[in-house]
């Protein structure tokens, strides 16, 4: 075993552990966040970064071979495809009409200020936000 092999293996393990950390953080955020949009915020970035880091670790481990070029193409494709699919899902959900989640305190405060001085409000949105509550169906 030479020194360069040891350095390569250490770099591989460090990159793999970092990628696994990001992937687990994205999974926990996907499980724990209250809203659809915030879940997508957790998964869209953490999965892309974690996957990129793990594949870079495997490139470092594999060395300069034909296999590494394939994995490099895989990384480039994922860096294009994953944000695109995330944006497509978000746009589809927004067009269907899912409303973003708000903190309950912010919602109550916003409603109170809306009742006291109702400027630049057509009257539709206030009652609509009172009715939907509890975060069901999102």
Partner 1 sequence: MTGASLFGIEMVNVFLAMAILIVIASFVSLYRGIEGPGIFNRIIAVSVIGTKTIVLLVLIGFIYKRPDFFDIALVYAILNFIMTIAATRY
* Secondary structure letter of residue 113 according to DSSP: H
Residues in contact with partner 1 by CB under 8 A are 1, 5-6, 8-10, 12-13, 16, 19-20, 23-24, 26-28, 30-31, 36, 39-40, 43, 47-48, 50-51, 54-55, 58, 61-63, 67, 70-71, 73-74, 77-78, 81-82, 84-86, 88-89, 91-93, 96, 98, 136-138
Can you tell me which residue has the tokens 């992937």?
23
> To the nearest whole angstrom, how small is the minimum distance from the Cβ of residue 68 to partner 1?
10
Cβ proximity to partner 1, 90 vs 129, nearer residue: 90
Structure tokens at 106: 């912010």
First to last CA, the chain: 55
Is 20:50 a contact under the CB 8 Å cutoff?
Answer: yes
């Amino acid at each position: 075993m030479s020194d360069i092999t040891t350095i390569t293996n250490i770099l591989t393990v460090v990159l793999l552990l970092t990628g696994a950390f990001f992937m687990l953080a994205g999974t926990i955020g996907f499980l724990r966040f209250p809203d659809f949009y915030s879940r997508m915020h957790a998964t869209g970035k953490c999965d892309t970064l974690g996957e990129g880091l793990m594949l870079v670790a495997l490139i470092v481990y594999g060395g300069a071979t034909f296999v590494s070029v394939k994995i490099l193409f895989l990384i480039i494709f994922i860096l294009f495809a994953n944000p695109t699919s995330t944006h497509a899902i978000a746009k589809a959900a927004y067009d269907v009409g899912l409303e973003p989640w708000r903190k309950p305190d912010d919602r109550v405060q916003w409603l109170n200020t809306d009742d006291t001085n109702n400027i630049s409000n057509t009257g539709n949105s206030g009652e609509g936000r009172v009715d939907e509550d509890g975060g069901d169906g999102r």
